[in-house]
A and B are shown apart, each in its own frame.
Chain A
């Protein structure tokens, strides 16, 4: 299977391993990730104001490229995925926004075809669940993670707004727990798994962000987790910064690559 892939700025800098483990795992599972040409940073957060189109154009460019290739658009960073999915939804539901975007894009290129959110946007987790299937993932496991107790940390961007993201039940998600089970480990359920880590407020009010992160860390630790997994570089940063070395926080793709036996291969470097 071939899909369009939007890595995003952080996966090219401080989260290189998130990208590398994703690529290595995809290859091991028979999926080809075709990187979007000349992609631009998604902006990190979706702007809800409906009069802004400039902040949404990088998503539009990636979406229209994937759509032209008739491929789903896959990303692995929670933030990129959130921004792209929300932008795509706006193209489907807000006629005035779509009109202005299409007018602008047409001015940039004569070959532009009108777009109304036709592309399918998928997080890598959805690709694993809906296209490959967790049973196939389980069958491909070479090094079972048996004995590990793992806390899935969703944060906010993967799930919300639920109407748009449509990935899982926003209050009682299970997609990451199901993956953890497929890899042979035991998921640990705790209350703060879908609460915000403090996000970008870490720059402006580090103390507020620290309080949010501590709630997540304390929840996972008191539920008996050995390890927290996330899909978001900012969640990981906030949790590590405020967790000192209480508990390791890793990307879910690192565990996947480890279980599939490709973590040490050249593809993962």
Chain B
């Protein structure tokens, strides 16, 4: 079970994001290359964290769809940096024991001989603790 106490507070603290700065223009989501893959979009992460409604985000596969491409950071006119909230929510989930999204045992079936080292280290950094 996820430790729900103070999740919102912790997410805001480790992300360093000031969600109140958001003016809900949607530019982050309009720029997001993973928009179609996500159930909750970057501007919704900002809005939902600000209103303390983090439970649906913790349970959504959207947190694994973010590419950490920083488009939402560079295109936000208010300096909100939505990706940092996506990352903080994902960390909330995978930092729980046994909640890794990627297991070493599953890797051989997912790769081919050309896979660069970089793909494996990056995926483990984003999906496992």
Task: Find chain A residues with CB under 8 A from B84 CB.
Answer: 48-49
Chain A 1-37 residues near chain B, CB threshold 8 A: 8-10, 13-15
In the complex where A156-B67, A204-B123 touch, is A10 in contact with B118 (Cβ < 8 A)? Answer: yes
In-complex Cβ contact of B118 among A196, A233, A241 (8 A): A233
In-complex Cβ contact of B117 among A13, A50, A161, A162 (8 A): A13
Q: Are A198 and B116 in contact (CB under 8 A)?
A: no
Q: Are B118 and A48 in contact (CB under 8 A)?
A: no
Chain A 41-62 residues near chain B, CB threshold 8 A: 41, 43-51, 55
Task: Find chain A residues with CB under 8 A from B4 CB.
Answer: none
Q: Are A195 and B118 in contact (CB under 8 A)?
A: no
In the complex where A161-B74, A204-B123 touch, is A234 in contact with B37 (Cβ < 8 A)? Answer: no
Number of interface residues of B (CB under 8 A): 41
Number of interface residues of A (CB under 8 A): 44
Q: Looking at B16, B34, B67, which has the most chain A CB atoms within 10 Å of its CB?
A: B67
Taking the complex as formed, is B1 at the interface, i.e. its CB lies under 8 A from any CB of chain A? Answer: no
Q: Are A204 and B127 in contact (CB under 8 A)?
A: yes
Q: Are B102 and A203 in contact (CB under 8 A)?
A: yes
For residue B83, which residue of chain A has the nearest CB?
A48
Q: Are A201 and B121 in contact (CB under 8 A)?
A: no
> Mask for B101-126, Cβ within 8 A of A = 1, else 0?
11000010011101111111111011
Task: Find chain B residues with CB under 8 A from A44 CB.
Answer: 118-119, 121-122, 125
Q: Are B125 and A45 in contact (CB under 8 A)?
A: yes
Cα A55 to Cα B129 in complex, Å, equals 11
Task: Find chain A residues with CB under 8 A from B27 CB.
Answer: none
Does more than half of chain B's interface fall in helix, strand or loop, or is it mixed? helix
Task: Find chain A residues with CB under 8 A from B16 CB.
Answer: 50, 94
Taking the complex as formed, is B87 at the interface, i.e. its CB lies under 8 A from any CB of chain A? Answer: yes
Smallest distance from the beta carbon of B101 to chain A beta carbons, Å? 7
In-complex Cβ contact of A160 among B73, B101, B122 (8 A): B73
In the complex where A160-B74, A196-B69, A200-B123 touch, is A208 in contact with B34 (Cβ < 8 A)? Answer: yes
Q: Are A160 and B70 in contact (CB under 8 A)?
A: yes
Q: Are B14 and A79 in contact (CB under 8 A)?
A: no
In the complex where A43-B125, A55-B125, A195-B33 touch, is A203 in contact with B69 (Cβ < 8 A)? Answer: no
Q: Are B123 and A79 in contact (CB under 8 A)?
A: no
Smallest distance from the beta carbon of A178 to chain B beta carbons, Å? 21
**Besides the contacts A196-B69, A201-B67, what 16 more A-B pairs have beta carbons closer than 8 Å?**
A9-B117, A15-B116, A49-B15, A49-B84, A170-B74, A195-B69, A196-B71, A199-B68, A200-B67, A201-B65, A208-B37, A212-B33, A233-B117, A233-B118, A234-B116, A234-B122
Q: Provide a sorted-by-A list of 25 A–B residue pairs whose CB atoms are within 8 angstroms.
A: A10-B118, A13-B117, A15-B116, A43-B122, A43-B125, A46-B68, A47-B125, A48-B81, A48-B88, A49-B15, A50-B14, A160-B71, A160-B73, A196-B69, A200-B119, A203-B102, A203-B119, A203-B123, A204-B101, A233-B116, A233-B117, A234-B122, A237-B115, A237-B116, A241-B112
